[in-house]
Structure 1
């Protein structure tokens, strides 16, 4: 990673404030700089039709003033709660997703809330999905509240990203001084038809070998870290959601070993961003600018 910088997508919403707290806590442990980035679209005027009123548009200077005030408030609060962390602010005229993706090329981590200010409450923010799929570095989507001393959980499925997932998860667990739980989930086998009964099976030693090898490498790199490895026969999305209930961070790859390799954010990752009980980190196989 080119430098220790954490970028937080900040819009003043409750979820953005939670993302700011997560980033500041992480920076306090790693001596990283936190950049609060606020992106807004420059308004434009549209001529009104004969029977349609012209929409009210806030002038750019008003938006800039609002952004400056909001960012000043978050950095002032950060100086009070995390005095050892260096913070900076940045305002850009752009859509939030592309702005965060562009900034991720020079960042260690991008942190966002699961939802921002939106006209449709209760839906997963499109920004968190887009950034998780396309960023050049790990993306942390902050959700829920972590139980005290809860472990970090990593999903390892044998895909190309698994090594990067475990390396990131192990670093997070070591920084927090909590255990790391590595979860490998193999889907159950059904009959000839999707509606057929599930056939009970166990994970064979041959199937487990790549998983066990990855876990062994983590233990070699982090000999003082408590590492628990579980191999289960269960749909990966269901197993990881269940594990998230007792975790403080769930770490997964941006793509799994599923049949649709072209998806930049796999179906399991998208499911977790919507249903995980804890914060989710999405890790890419390599930095996409390399």
Structure 2
């Protein structure tokens, strides 16, 4: 089923290969979900374009395209050999990478990207491409970076009471159940801007109220997945710093595509960028399809 397909942005780079490995593991956990590699590039009109097998300063030709197709074909063959129970396909697309990936995500259940690439994905997280893909994709997006933990540890989710964070919570609970690991729910209460520090009594009351709200959001998921151990952490502080810290020792951290309160502007401000750049594990930007 197309809606179950895992789409992988692939260009042969180290991080793209890690993203593919992550996607193949996820496919196996999901009962053999199909995986599709998408190599996207746009031919630049300036000397110095660099792609697999293409020397700088020349116009790309049929030979260059054939080399790209061979790269994708080999990646697919290697993936099938490593995961014989997973169906893997590969496609080469022309056009702006962010736009093409956004369009293709409409037919996918999950989009997986490496945090750094070459060719069509150069500077993926340094400019507008990553922001556009994570903000406007039609399905959840996973960003994987070299050096991150992908094995042991809990699934972490950042919540703030918004509808978007409820979607993230659902994704995180299901991921924890599928992986058979604990779930850590993090609610960071950012201090009010321009106000004096609240008293200890007020702070404790705020934390207690937020914890009750988190428990209420969790109730239906506890009923659906009673075997998932859940740890709730509610505290005042900096949302970005708290989520980056929580990612240490985790195997996945999940956030919503839009938030309020402590996660306001999740994809437009410093919180998401710090998490994508500094998380110690892969990051999921969850959204409803």
Name the residue aligned to 1:113. Answer: 114
d(CA) in 2 for partners of 1:45, 1:153: 43
Name the residue aligned to 1:243. Answer: 246
Q: Normalising to structure 1: TM-score of the pair?
A: 0.85
Count of residue correspondences? 275
Sort the Cα spacing of 1:258 and 1:233 in 2 relative to 1 into closer, same or farther, 3 A: closer
d(CA) in 2 for partners of 1:198, 1:250: 30
Contact 1:254 1:269 in 2 (8 A): no
Does 2:212 match 1:209?
Answer: yes
d(CA) in 2 for partners of 1:147, 1:262: 27
Contact 1:254 1:283 in 2 (8 A): yes
Does 2:272 match 1:231?
Answer: no
Sort the Cα spacing of 1:2 and 1:208 in 2 relative to 1 into closer, same or farther, 3 A: farther
Q: Deviations over 1:157-214 (max 9, x none)?
A: 111112210111111111111111111110135664xxx7786533343333322211
Does 2:92 match 1:94?
Answer: no
Contact 1:45 1:57 in 2 (8 A): no
d(CA) in 1 for partners of 2:211, 2:67: 54
Name the residue aligned to 1:256. Answer: 259
Indicate the SS of the match to 2:284: strand
Q: What's the offset of the Cα at 1:67?
A: 1.3
Name the residue aligned to 1:27. Answer: 27
Contact 1:132 1:265 in 2 (8 A): no
Name the residue aligned to 1:134. Answer: 136
Contact 2:188 2:234 in 1 (8 A): yes
d(CA) in 2 for partners of 1:61, 1:274: 36
